[in-house]
Chain A
Amino acid sequence: MTLTGIITILMYALAPFIWLMLAAAVIIVGLHLFAYLRGYQITHHRSVLALLLAGLVGLTAFVWVPWFTHSTLDYVATVVDWVALTSAAIATFIVALIVLHPLSYLISDRRTD
């Protein structure tokens, strides 16, 4: 498989989700920018609640990812299946944390205003 072949396949695979990915990117960047303007620093802010919520959102991936692929958790059977689904759950957790972490700062910042 050539590099252009891989790129072609990825482009066709991602094409239906381009606008969703762009919208998500705009929300995440916008949120972080807004939070930074309010004094947020990713390494200095600690939020157990954001971590817990992101963890819960990550766990929901075990339900909605199979559903999103027209399947169910019952059919996740092989080691490869579980590795793939767990990876999807971890990715969901990371994205959720990237959103919830600055959000928790903004909420706590508003409380202290």
Chain B
Amino acid sequence: MHKPLLLNRRELLKVGTGLGISSLLPFSAVSANTLQTQAHIVILGGGAAGMAMANRLATRLEGGTITLVEPRSTHHYQPGWTLVASGVWQPDKTMRPNAQFVPRGVKWVREYAASIDADNKRVGLANGATLDYEYLVVATGIQLNYHLIEGMSPSLVGQHGIGSVYASIEGATRTNQAIQTWLDSGQGKGIFTAAPTPVKCAGAPLKMTFTTLSRLEASGRRDAFEVDFMAPGDALFSQPWVNEFVKQRFDEQGVNRRHHYRLSAIDPQAKQAEFTFVGPDSEFTSHHQLREAEFRRDNQPTVIADYDFIHVVPPMSAHDFVKQSALIAQDGPFRGEWLDVDIYTMQHNRYPEVFGIGDVIGAPINKTAASVKAQAPVVEANLIAVMQGNPLPARHTGYTSCPMITGIGKAMLVEFGYEDNFAFMPSFPFIDPTDESWVTWVMKDRMLQPAYYAVLEGQA
């Protein structure tokens, strides 16, 4: 359903402000920013990336047709899920109607996408209908592959001591309850895992460990609890400085770090997890190639670990219908798993009328909402350039940001990009990315959600 014609308070203020500002500008300055077109643009996905693109293109294009394919009526602020799973936020704080963000004039198709026929420029929907496009923006997000862990299912989250912040907002809520149940038991072993694939918000598994450590320490019985972190490779985070910091802090806080162990199976009834040893030659990097075959345990040593609580991070990939399309990477580190785009221009490497944005793209970092903020203007500028037959003017630096929560009430503002081995790219010169800070926590707790909604509206 589209927005009603009546303006709400927020829109009224923005319209008023916009009119005030535009009255100061010459008309040519306003009209120069729009492009007259008859093109049909399809945007697949209405998460942070898709919604930001819908709003940006709706502002920039006049006369064309923009179709947004998004089945869900509720928009989830997923960066808030770690705070829900940590017991800091209530779940309803992370939800808003999608109708609030879909711009007027954009055709909203409330259906799941089921296939992409890139050669014929056609998208198939779950209801059997098809959509033809001239330009396509793939913003379908990520697929959680819980099924690659034997015995695991998202429906188990919240039961048998199993938590997983990624499962859903309900899963994040039940993860908080599972942690609280473990805390209330007064003792026991908790296992925190990571995935052998790129994951959205790579800091989330670390944040869940740090916030749980805060809760354990606040209980006054920290010594009664054992905490293990099982990593599939030798690194915990892609940014080198942060990686070393987290390792050191885990050691200081009594976390048993075990590297080169991948969660391969789980027995919820017995509260046992099976880990496959995948070292020492393998590395946990964002370039790691995920193959179903890699999850076979043949000829690989495994260990069984008892737990009272386990935080499960599933392997992730692009959605199956993207993987089965010609748009998927054909070679290189993202082969068969992620969208094949130029990580600087965001244009598809083989289909120039296709752009990718957000979690779905094959890139060494960048699966955060902050990345979308940096990518959206690049996709907008380059897509419009393609429509005009011009060279691509914009390049993505790889900027991504992670407010690394190091305890409930403190955080580090980690911002970095592709260059110089993921060197820091601080937005605020007065905030040191290597400092744990209350102000950074306040930004995470109070300011990033408003900034996220501004990105959705194409305003930031």
Task: Please give the residue numbers on chain A whose beta carbons come within 8 Å of chain B beta carbons, in ascending order.
Answer: 1-5, 7-13, 66, 69-72, 74-78, 80-81, 84-85
Contact = CB atoms under 8 A, between A and B. Distances in A.
A42 B437 CA distance: 39
Contacts of B449: 12
A85 B13 contact: no
A69 B88 CA distance: 10
Contacts of B282: none
A42 to B, nearest CB: 31
Contacts of B10: 8, 11
B1 interface: no
B459 to A, nearest CB: 4
B224 interface: no
B430 interface: yes
Contacts of A70: 88, 408-409, 441, 445
Given A7-B13, A8-B457, 8 more contacts: A2-B459, A5-B460, A9-B447, A69-B438, A71-B410, A76-B438, A77-B438, A80-B431
A66 B436 CA distance: 15
A97 B432 CA distance: 35
A3 B431 CA distance: 23
**Which range holds the interface residue count of chain B?**
20 to 34
A75 B410 contact: yes
A77 B435 contact: yes
A4 B22 CA distance: 11
B446 A13 contact: yes
A13 B447 contact: yes
Contacts of B441: 69-71, 75
A73 to B, nearest CB: 9
Nearest to B96: A12
B454 A69 contact: no
Given A10-B450, A11-B10, A66-B409, A75 B436 contact: yes
Contacts of B459: 2, 4-5, 8-9
Interface string B209-241: 000000000000000000000000000000000
A85 B13 CA distance: 30
Interface of B: 10, 13-14, 17-18, 21, 88, 407-410, 430-432, 435-439, 441-442, 445-447, 449-451, 453-454, 457, 459-460
Contact of B450 (A1, A3, A13, A76): A13
Q: Which of B18, B436, B441, B449 has the most CB of A within 10 A?
A: B441
A71 to B, nearest CB: 3
Contacts of B446: 13, 69
- What 10 pairs between A and B have smallest CB-CB spacing? A71-B409, A12-B450, A5-B459, A75-B410, A13-B450, A8-B454, A5-B460, A81-B438, A8-B459, A9-B450
A12 B453 contact: yes
B14 A7 contact: yes
A20 to B, nearest CB: 14
Contacts of B21: 3-4
Contacts of B451: 9
A78 B436 CA distance: 8
Contact of A8 (B14, B407, B430, B435): B14
Given A4-B459, A69-B441, A78-B432, A9 B407 contact: no
A75 B14 contact: no
Given A8-B453, A72-B409, A75-B409, A81 B447 contact: no
A10 B454 CA distance: 10
Contacts of A7: 13-14, 17
B454 A85 contact: no
A9 B460 contact: yes
Contacts of A12: 449-450, 453-454
Nearest to A75: B410
A84 B439 contact: yes
Contacts of A76: 438
